[in-house]
Amino acid sequence: MLLTEAARLAEIDLDIPCGGQGRCGRCAVIVADGEGVRCRSTVRLSAEDLTAGYVLACQTVVEGDAVVIIPPQEKIERRLVTDKTAGEIALPFTYDPQQHQPMRLMSLTIDPPTMHDQTDDWSRLKRSMATTFDVLDLVADLDTLRSLASTLRQADWTVTAVVETDTWDRPEGPPRLVDLLPGGQMQHLWGVAVDIGTTTVSVYLVDLLTGEVVAKAAEYNGQIRRGEDVISRIIYASKNDGLAELESLVVATINEVIQRAARRAKVDPGEIYKMTVAGNSTMIHLLLGLAADSIRLDPFVTTINHPPPVRASQLDIAIHPQASVDCLPGVASYVGADISAGVLGSQMCDSEATSLFLDVGTNGETVLGDCDWMISCACSAGPAFEGAGVRDGMRATVGAIEEVWINSQTYEPTYRVIPDLRLEARGQPTPPRGICGSGLISLLAETFITGLIDKAGNLNFDAGSPRIRQGEHGPEYVVAWEGETEHGRDIVFSKVDIDNLIRAKAAIYAGFTVLALSVGTDLSTVDQVLIGGSFGQHINIEKAIQIGLLPDMPWEKFRFMGNTALQGALLALLNRGVRRQVAEVARRMTYLELSSDNTFFDAFTAALFLPHTDLTSFPSVAEVLASREDEP
C-alpha cells in the first residue's frame, strides 16, 4: 500500500497535486522508523532531505510497521515572501552604526545668544557641534538653513542634528546637516533601500540605528503602461515630454511604495533621511531625468554610470527633502546598478568558486566569474517572468497562482494561491485572481512535461481535455474555471503567453551560453548558479530546468539569492565600505555587448524550444520525457 493511501485511511489529508507521480514533491513525509517502507523514487528530494529521512508519500510503499511523521505544511512549502511582512535579512557583517553608517543623530543643547554674544545661529550651532561631537566644517543646504532660526528657538536651544558625515563621492566630508529636530529625538533614524525594476519597484524601510528592516513593500512600476521593457520606455522617453512623464511615473510608484512601507511601520516618510537605489541603467536614467536614447542606439552608452548623490527634493521623492538619494553605480547600458548591487549582495565577488549570477527580471542580466574576474551581459527577456504582458499575469501577491501541477492522466490542474491571511485564518481558501511569474514557469513546465504542449509550445488539442480550447485570442489552457476565481472569469494560459515565455527563457539561456563561450569554456565549469532578482527566489528550479530557462545541473548548485539588487541597496545603505565596494565591482566588471555578436542570435534561436534544440544538454529533462513516453 502506498503511504498516500495509508494516510487517506487514517484520515490524514496529504496534498498530492501531481496526482501521485512523484513529480511535485509536495507529499514529502519523514519516515522515523523505516523498517517497513520501500521508496520507488526520490527524484524530488535533495541529498539533505534524504539524510533527514524524507520520502515522497506517493512513491513509498508500506510493507510493514512504520512510524511516519507528517511535517507541518509550511516546512514543505517554501516560505512565501509577499510584500506584507519584513522577513529577517541576514547581513554579511555585524552592523556597527559608528563604523559603518555616515548618517548620525547628535543631540545637543546650545547656549542661546545674548547681547554679549551675538554670534549668528549657524556659527553657534557649528561651534556647539565642534565642541560636543568634534564635527568640524559642518555644511547645510539652503533649505535646512531656512528653518534653523525657528527650530532653535521653538526647541529652546535643545535639538537633535541629523548629520550625513560623508558620501561616496566625498568620502572626506564635509559633514552635512540634513535636518535639525526640536528636542532630543534619538529613538530612530530611518532610511530606505529601493530597487527599481523595469516591472516591479521594491523597498526596504530600515532603522539606521539598528540596521533592522522594519517594513517591506513592492508594487508594479507605474511606467509599465508606457512600455513593458526598457527599449520601449527609452523610445517613449525620447518623444515629446516622455522623459518627464516616465520620471514622474516611477517617482509616483516609489512614493507610493515608500508610503505603504512607512504606514506599516508607523513612520512618517518625511523622517526618512537616506535612500539608496538599485536599478538597471535605464531605470536609473529615467529616475534622474537623464535622456536614455544613447542606451538604445549604437554604441549603447549611458550618460553616467556612477551618478552623484542628489537630494530627494530634486527628484520629488516624498521623503525628507534634504535626504541624499544615492543611486548605485552600473557597469554599462544594460548591466546597471541592479547587477553590481546584486553581485555584491550575492558575494560572488568574494568567492573563488566560478559563479553564474543571474537576475531574472525584465532584462536577463548575467554575470560569470569569481573574485578575480567577472564578465557580464544582458538580454531583453521582457516582463513575462514578472507576470506582466501575459493575459492573466499578475504580480506575486495575494490571489496569485504561484505553483501549478497538472495530472498527467486527467490534465486537471492543482494550484497553490498566495493566500489572503485573513481567509487562511478562518480556514478558507483564497480564490485565484491571476498567475504570477513562478506560476507561469510552473504552467509552462507542467503543460510541456504532461504533453499538453509540444516542444514548440503548440497546444495539444488531441489530449481530449475540456481545458484545452480555442479562446478569443487563440488556443489556450484553462487553469481555473470562472466558478473558482475571485473575479468570476476563467483564468487561462494562452499560446501567446507561451510564446512570450519561450522567447524570454531563450534570451536568458542564450546569454549564459555566450558568456561561457566568450571565456572559452562551457557551463559545466560553473560551480554555482546564483539566482537573484525579486522574482528569482520564487522559481522552482526543476521546472525552470524543464523549460530550459536554467542549465541542467544538480539542484545543489543553485542558490536563491532573493532580490539581490534590493539587498545590495540595503547593504550600501547600511555600510559605507560596501558602498565603495559596489563602485569597485562596477568598475572591475567586463561588459560583453551581445548585439555586436552573431553568437547570441544563434544561441537564442537554438533555445526557442522546450527545453532546447540540443536535448543532450538537458539530460534530466530528456529522462523525464522518456519516462512519460514509457507510460501507458
| Interaction site with a copy of itself (CB under 8 A) | 113-115, 117-124, 139-140, 142, 145-146, 148-150, 153, 169, 288-291, 293-294, 298-308, 310, 314, 332-333, 591, 593, 596
Sheet holding 363-369, edge to edge: 558-560, 528-532, 355-360, 363-369, 374-380, 590-591
CB of 117 to a copy of itself, least distance (A): 8
Q: How far is the CB of 104 from a copy of itself (least distance, A)?
A: 20
Q: Report the residue number, 269 or 330, with the smaller CB distance to a copy of itself.
A: 330
Cell of 425: 485564518
Nearer Cβ to a copy of itself (250/265)? 250
Q: Report, in Å, the least distance between residue 600 CB and a copy of itself.
A: 14
Q: Which is nearer to a copy of itself, 120 or 350 (CB)?
A: 120
CA–CA dist 32, 65 (Å, integer)? 11
Shortest spacing between CB 305 and a copy of itself, in angstroms: 4
Query: Between residues 34 and 113, which has the closer beta carbon with respect to a copy of itself?
Result: 113
Q: How far is the CB of 245 from a copy of itself (least distance, A)?
A: 15
Residue 311 or 469 with smaller CB distance to a copy of itself = 311
Q: Phi-psi bin for 395: left (phi > 0), alpha (psi -120 to 50), beta?
A: beta
In the complex, the smallest distance separating the C-beta of residue 123 from a copy of itself, rounded to whole angstroms, is 7
Q: Which is nearer to a copy of itself, 220 or 334 (CB)?
A: 334
Q: How far apart are CA 177 and CA 138, in angstroms?
A: 7
Q: Quote the least distance from Cβ 137 to a copy of itself, whole Å.
A: 9
As measured in angstroms, the least distance from the Cβ of 572 to a copy of itself is 19
Burial of 422 per CB tally in 10 Å (0-12, 13-18, 19+) = exposed
Report how far residue 180's alpha carbon sits from residue 373's, in angstroms, rounded to the nearest whole number: 45
Inter-residue contact 236 to 286 (CB < 8 Å)? no
- DSSP notation for 391-420: TTB--SSTTEEEEEEE-TTT--EEEEEPPP
324 vs 465 by CB, closer to a copy of itself: 324
85 vs 147 by CB, closer to a copy of itself? 147
**Residue corresponding to grid cell 559633514:** 175
Q: C-beta of 523: minimal distance to a copy of itself in Å? A: 26
Residue 231 CA to residue 293 CA, distance in Å, equals 9
HSE (side-chain half, CA atoms, 13 Å) at 174: 13
Our CB check for a copy of itself shows the closer of 109 and 303 to be: 303
Cα distance from N-terminal residue to C-terminal residue, the chain? 21
The secondary element (H helix, E strand) that includes residue 555 is none
Instruction: Write out the three cell numbers for 123.
Output: 556659527
Q: Where are the alpha helices (DSSP H) in 108-211?
A: 121-133, 142-146, 148-154
